[in-house]
Amino acid sequence: MKTNELCNCSILRSSSSKITSIYDKALSNNGVKVMQYALLKYIYLMKSPNLNELSAALYQDRSTLGRNIRILERMKLVSINTGKDKRQIQIMLTNHGTVTLQEARKAWELVQKKIEIKLGKKKQEQLIEILNDIQSIELKL
């Protein structure tokens, strides 16, 4: 049995893990992880979305988002209110969340720039293009 070819999935998983730890470290002075930073950013950009909207924007499971949002709430970075439709929750940045986003933004820019330099402009662009391809893959299995 040959079992030693490179698995697209495994290498993507470990690269994702590696780069996550780099960004997490870069943001650690701001007290947030990169996923939390991304959430804050989207909540800001989407102007107090509900869970459904956020999960659609991030292509992520609603229950995942719900749990992650509650962590941000515990951290006092967001506040959660019920909307007019009482099923929905409206997610807003607190002042602390807004400040954290602004500060973390600087750290994010730094590490993003460093990665781009390490990788080079060409590979950077290729990476984005290929990952976009992957995200739009629809396989009938």
Partner DNA sequence: AAATATAATGAGTATATACCCATAATATGA
Partner DNA sequence: TCATATTATGGGTATATACTCATTATATTT
- Which residues lie near DNA (CB under 7 A)? 13, 17, 21, 33, 35-36, 50-52, 60-64, 66-68, 71, 74, 80, 84-89
Residue 95 site contact among a copy of itself, DNA, none (CB < 5 to 8 Å, cut-off depends on kind):
none
**Choice between 16 and 52, CB closer to a copy of itself:** 16
Ranges within 12-41 binding a copy of itself (CB under 8 A)? 12-20, 22-23, 25-26, 34-35, 38, 41
Number of residues that bind a copy of itself (CB under 8 A): 58
Residue 52 site contact among DNA, a copy of itself, none (CB < 5 to 8 Å, cut-off depends on kind):
DNA
Residue 35 has which token pair?
A: 């996923």
Nearest to 43 by CA among 69, 64, 62: 69
**Choice between 37 and 51, CB closer to a copy of itself:** 37
By the 10 Å C-beta count (0-12 exposed, 13-18 middle, 19+ buried), 79 is classed as: middle
Ramachandran region of residue 85, left (φ > 0), alpha (ψ -120 to 50) or beta? beta
Neighbours of 86 (CB within 10 A): 7
